[in-house]
Structure 1
Amino acid sequence: MLWLYNFGIFLYTIVLHIASIFNNKAKLFLNGRKNIFTIIKNKVDITKKHVWFHFASLGEFEQGRPVLEELKHKYPDKLIVITFFSPSGFEIRKNYPLAEGVFYLPLDTKKNAAEFVRLINPEIAIFTKYEFWHHYFSALHQQGVPLFIISGIFRPEQAFFKWYGDFYRGILRNVSYFFVQNQQSVNLLKALDLNNVSLSGDTRFDRVAENAKHPKELPLISKFCGAAPVFIAGSTWLPDEQLLKEVILKFPEWKFIIAPHETHTAHISEILKLLPAAARYTQLGESAAASADQVLIIDNIGILSSVYQYGKIAYIGGGFGTGIHNTLEAAAFGLPVIFGPKYDKFQEAKDLLALQAAITVQSAEELSAAFIRLQKDHAAGAAAKKYVEDKTGSTAQIIKHLGQYI
């Protein structure tokens, strides 16, 4: 099976090179890894021990960030190295101030893993939620470096739990300890005789709760909203935006803020074709911020988590694609949430539905009906906020355990 895994990595590299000709993300992925070991040598003191945090992308960074920042607060002398797999994480957080170095993770080959582990000289390694790399996990195990999975979540359909999954189960056996989000994950791991696991919950709750307490002030957003009630659509894709157009036309007394998941020029242009009268955040001036515009498009990255403070109801995108995005950022501010049908992999979405703090929709008509209902249901937002507050505490549990290894 190892040869097949290695061949898969090789094939993935070839596909990336082809895709990079016309896909900017693929180009960033490859260019960011050029001369990566020379970059690391110039940036990191390889004679010193480091705490290595790896994140797949930006969402996982925000999820694991409470642990990283609390660890740095408690152990300020510790040096931190951060890696990302995806450009969407690295390009946003490459200058993160608490890290000695932020890098793309070299592709998972035996040679790359051995050299990377040698250069960063990790004291411990912490992976958030997922990404299980055979050679990296093996290299850490061979060097006696404790490896932790935080906010992990496992499902029966994953290869680890299939009859053919012995190779993948071997990857899991290199993990020193699992901190997982739900009881199902505990049960699945224990069924594999992996008893080094505890139910700690999801560190995202700590992150979003802290953000809701101390959001970044956005004066231009505040002026745009004025005294009107505001509907915020976060991390949207085109199918979401097509539904939103119908709702916007029906409720002229509301203001709408749309923060698309992709903010490249082509997508912003698609939104403007749907909503030609919409204003763009990057083009707002002090004088224009309080204008009579009904719709505002957030055409930059990094402020959505604070935009929610100005809303009354939220719509979370992605539910008509591969799956919904972050519902918790909105819920933490006491906003009830609406999302599309693809939410089955997200426990928090199921929980919010059960609490009647969320509504799932499949059409513009259902979205309008949900919007009308939530305008009258003031208990829904309170239930969403309480749900987040009741789920905090994962970070403290993890930090206490990590203290045994630092």
Structure 2
Amino acid sequence: MAKRPTKEIILEKALKLFADKGYDGVTVRDIAAEVGIRQSSLYKHYISKQEIFDTLVDTMQSRFMDASATFQLPSGEIREIAQEYAKDSTDILKKISSEIFHFYLKDPYASQFRKMLSIEKYKSKEIDRIYREVYIDTAISNQAQIFEEMIKQGYMRKADPKIMALQFFAPIFLLLNRYDGIAEKEAEAIEILGKHIEQFDKIYREGGNKMKIAIIYATKYGCTKKCVEILKSYLQSDVKVFSAKNSKIDVSQYDTILIGGSVYMGKIQKEITRFCKHNLKQLLKKRVGLFVCCYTPNGINGFFETLFPLELLNHAFYVTCIGGEMNYDKMNFLYRRLFQSLKKIDGFNEGFTEPKILEEEIKALAEKSLK
């Protein structure tokens, strides 16, 4: 086994001594004795006790950054981060909070570092500043920015984002102090933490500006799925996407239901037809939008009546065709040969326009859905 660097051992022993006795209660001689080297040898690695302390602070920040990479924290522009936090309801907040809680509670370095700062912050203004920056100010400031953006995007009801961040973090910090030293009760602490996050979410998100939207679709060659992804990107709300083949979709959980599929040989997928008929009673109580991927332009009389139940059509707030694509590679042999033969006919290409996805229609559907 490779020998550990002396500098690393010095930091480890110094942190433990500082956490037990406080910064002022420890001398360089004490640290050297704990490491098992002479005081003069220690000075070859660190010129003073203050440099050891400063290195501990830098190391702690570095360790947290390394740990954060495993937490899979949302990254990117603040708008994208807010959307990432919002899309999975409380799931992502629970996951990240529990992992950070676990890190500070059970990581030996992080636990002793917090204990050291807790002791020394009353004796030194600089240490008090570091303590506030590491455990309070940075966390609240960053979370307040995220909450502010989530409010702007309609995911949370209007409130003071700084107060929201304070209300969010205060119980977490209290739990960390309550369970410090009894790591075997971590599961109990995580359960309480999860309930706190659920209640926080209920206070600030349920009944607010957030609209719960479900998109139910069926696809044959993949075009409808591609359109659904575009549609979802325009919907700045709580959106869940389901395949119509899923027989366990609970439409009662959503405010708006968007239903669509592709038209093949004049018919929409049977799973869409089955879904509409099976859930018709519930759908008539919801805001419903209907869309199809096909080459038939909007405005053709009687076209949509062949695809959806008439009662649902009359109830829908928006019904549209969003275009489509010719995926020749995925067509069956006969259909592909038919198009290849047609394209060889003189004059066919002059009257034939390659179909395309109508993104403006998808955007219009999204805008209507959010009203």
TM-score normalised by length of structure 2: 0.31
Structure number with higher helix proportion:
2
The higher radius of gyration belongs to 2
- TM-score (ref. length: structure 1): 0.29
